[in-house]
């Protein structure tokens, strides 16, 4: 907390007005969830939001106190005090409007403003949260609302890497990356930035930089277009362990079947990723789709509920899966990139269960057992290995 306060004061000393968005400390959020479930295994979503927002409120008040101790004026604000208005959805609300009048007024008075991330309020006065990673979204959205010169995201790595540096120690640090590439990586499992934060940055053209909390190294800039490094077709490799595959077997091959299934899933607010339909035999078809592990049980319940009006032979599910993806703007003009990926994975003795592609990414769903081996092999195959030392966490480096 003292280290963060010192970094903020240093920024102000450089002549900047500073608005700081913080999340809860350490395992606070997980601890609160555990406490709630001890009392009620299925706690009401509204009360969970009421509980979850307290973690960030502890952070903002303590950080403000630490800054005051350094002789500077700071004021803490909850998300709703900072002007965040959201849709009436608990647990994963989207921002509908930001009215940052109090933030701007505090800046005009020379104060450092500390804002609680991850939270807002509906027009009816109900407290809501944005879901995991929502503090990133808060920061970028607020930067857009106040037209900040730059939005810096401080984390435990000193930028965005070609893959998870905890798995591949020779990962390549990217000097810059396009919004589109970063959005694909974030959606595909790269945890360094939340997808909604990248969406906001792209839509509002926020100058976004990812840096380390522990040193003063130059970070990675996320921008409209990034220069493509010579010889590098794939910019990054992401993976997502939060994957479940559900298969519906023996469905009548008639118009409207997929509309019924995925319409029902959409009504239940269940996100579906990859969809694959197999060939038709005896007028029956099989198809599979992926969803998040956390929503897989609910998705199965929806499918079971459809059986009376949509007969099928069987429903199966798999959970010990992972989605591995390659991303790169250079893939558009280089044929054979996906084929090379399939070849590399097969040489690791791993079967590919599902495939999804777009202009700048290819994703494969595989079994989880050889994840690290596959990621390392792909990283080497696409010439992303470097001799540089990856920085993850560590003590503060004085400048």
Tokens of 395: 């003590």
For residue 115, give the H/E element and its range. strand 112-116
The full DSSP string for 262-317 is: HHHHHHTT-----EEE---BTTEEEEEEEE-HHHHHHHHHHHHHTTTTS--SEEEE
Query: 247 by DSSP, 3-state: which?
Result: strand
The runs of H, that is alpha helices, within 82-211 are: 101-108, 134-145, 179-187, 195-204
| Whole-number Å distance between alpha carbons of 209 and 154 | 9
Which residues line the annotated binding site for ATP? Answer: 155-156, 161, 166
| Tokens (6 digits) for 155 | 């984390």
Sign of the four-CA dihedral 42, 43, 46, 48? negative
- C-alpha–C-alpha distance, residues 321 and 324, integer Å: 10
Handedness of CA 165, 170, 171, 176 (dihedral sign): positive
Q: Which residues are annotated as a binding site?
A: 29, 56, 155-156, 161, 166
CA angle (62, 68, 72) in 5-degree steps:
135
d(CA 76, CA 64): 6
Given the structure tokens 């020779």, which residue do they identify? 170
> How far is 138 from 23, CA to CA, in rounded Å?
10
CB-based contact 199:134 (threshold 8 Å): no
Enumerate the known binding-site residues for substrate: 29, 56
Half-sphere exposure of 186 (CA within 13 A, CB side): 23
- The single-letter DSSP state of residue 331 is G
């Amino acid at each position: 907390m003292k280290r963060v306060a010192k970094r903020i004061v240093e920024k102000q000393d450089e002549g900047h007005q500073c608005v700081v968005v913080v999340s809860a400390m350490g395992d606070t959020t997980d601890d609160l969830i555990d406490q709630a479930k001890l009392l009620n295994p299925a706690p009401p979503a509204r009360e969970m939001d009421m509980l979850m927002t307290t973690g960030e409120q502890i952070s903002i008040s303590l950080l403000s106190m630490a800054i005051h101790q350094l002789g500077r004026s700071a004021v803490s604000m909850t998300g709703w005090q900072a002007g965040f208005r959201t849709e009436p959805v608990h647990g994963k609300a989207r921002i509908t409007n930001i009215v940052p009048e109090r933030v701007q007024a505090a800046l005009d008075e020379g104060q450092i403003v500390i804002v609680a991330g991850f939270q807002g309020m509906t027009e009816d006065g109900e407290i809501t949260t944005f879901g995991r990673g929502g503090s990133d979204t808060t920061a970028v959205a607020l930067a857009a609302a106040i037209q900040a010169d730059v939005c810096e995201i401080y984390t435990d790595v000193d930028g965005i890497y070609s893959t998870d540096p905890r798995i591949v120690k020779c990962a390549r640090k990217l000097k810059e990356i396009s919004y589109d590439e970063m959005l694909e990586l974030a959606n595909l499992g790269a945890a360094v930035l939340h997808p909604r934060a990248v969406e906001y940055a792209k839509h509002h053209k926020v100058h976004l930089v990812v840096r380390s909390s522990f040193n003063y190294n130059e970070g990675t800039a996320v921008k409209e277009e990034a220069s493509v490094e010579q010889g590098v077709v794939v910019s990054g490799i992401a993976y997502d362990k939060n994957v479940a595959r559900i298969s519906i077997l023996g469905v009548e091959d008639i118009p409207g079947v997929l509309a019924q299934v995925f319409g029902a899933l959409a009504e239940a607010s269940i996100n579906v990723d990859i969809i694959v339909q197999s060939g038709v035999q005896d007028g029956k078809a099989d198809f599979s789709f992926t969803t998040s592990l956390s929503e897989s049980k609910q998705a199965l319940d929806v499918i079971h509920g459809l059986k009376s009006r949509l007969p099928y032979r069987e429903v199966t599910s798999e959970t010990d899966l992972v989605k591995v993806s390659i991303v790169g703007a250079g893939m558009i003009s280089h044929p054979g990139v996906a084929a090379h990926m399939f070849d590399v994975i097969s040489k690791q003795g791993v079967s590919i269960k599902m495939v999804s592609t777009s202009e700048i990414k290819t994703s494969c769903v595989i079994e989880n057992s050889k994840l690290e081996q596959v990621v390392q092999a792909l990283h080497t195959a696409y010439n992303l290995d470097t001799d540089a030392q990856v920085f993850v966490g560590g003590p503060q480096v004085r400048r």
